[in-house]
Chain A
Amino acid sequence: QKEVEQDPGPLSVPEGAIVSLNCTYSNSAFQYFMWYRQYSRKGPELLMYTYSSGNKEDGRFTAQVDKSSKYISLFIRDSQPSDSATYLCAMSGGEYNFNKFYFGSGTKLNVKP
């Protein structure tokens, strides 16, 4: 079983839609939960990170962590064509090296004008 599971998509939505991206994980020791955005042929860039359970909002983006279910989500409100990219979840923390990140496979999002 992979440490982190993520639906690869692709996910296609019309402009203005609410997008929900999700990851599940198996290691209950994870404490930090990140979402990266990666445009085609570019390096990933950090969108948001959350510590432990709860919600975090940044503009049109909301990250949710439910540690009891080992489930994290990223919501994008009023999606724009510029949001079209691959979204990677990542996690770290636990009994080993805090600096080791475990990545999901990425979900490719296409927002149609």
Chain B
Amino acid sequence: DGGITQSPKYLFRKEGQNVTLSCEQNLNHDAMYWYRQDPGQGLRLIYYSQIVNDFQKGDIAEGYSVSREKKESFPLTVTSAQKNPTAFYLCASSILTSGYNEQFFGPGTRLTVL
């Protein structure tokens, strides 16, 4: 089955700790994205990557870091600099063309800071 997997499903973090969220896709998509979802605020773009070893900041990149060492993988690290990290994190991927590119989403990771 082709798709996007995210792990873990639930993650608990103590204040001051860095945590890394995993995102893997086997759709052979070039582009990958990380979004944060808070109640009543929809999806906000954290980082995106269009090619291996390259990524760009989205609208709310502060306190987050990413890497793209493999086409299939785009892990997100939530650092201690992120002041309010409790949220639902969604990873997505798409092909790259100049027209419409459907973004396929993973099942999400719910991060809670204790």
Contact = CB atoms under 8 A, between A and B. Distances in A.
A and B assemble together: yes
A32 interface: yes
Contacts of B48: 99-100
B102 interface: yes
Interface residues on A, range: 20 to 34
A21 B90 CA distance: 23
Contact of B43 (A41, A88, A92): A88
B42 A32 contact: no
Q: Specify which of A6, A36, A41, A104 lies most central, judged by the most chain B CB atoms within 10 Å of its CB.
A: A41
Nearest to B106: A43
A71 interface: no
Contacts of A44: 43, 90, 105
B23 to A, nearest CB: 11
Contacts, number: 62
A49 interface: yes
B2 interface: no
Contacts of B41: 105
Interface string A71-105: 00000000000000000101011000011110111
A93 to B, nearest CB: 8
Secondary structure at the B interface, as helix, strand, loop or mixed, is strand
Contacts of B6: 43
Q: Specify which of B88, B97, B100 lies most central, judged by the most chain A CB atoms within 10 Å of its CB.
A: B100
Interface residues on B, range: 20 to 34
Q: Nearest 10 CB-CB pairs, A to B?
A: A43-B105, A105-B42, A103-B43, A103-B42, A32-B100, A43-B107, A44-B105, A43-B108, A43-B106, A99-B101
Given A92-B101, A103-B43, A105-B42, 20 more contacts: A6-B42, A8-B40, A41-B108, A42-B107, A42-B108, A43-B4, A43-B105, A43-B108, A44-B43, A46-B102, A49-B100, A51-B100, A98-B98, A98-B99, A98-B100, A99-B48, A99-B94, A99-B101, A101-B43, A103-B42
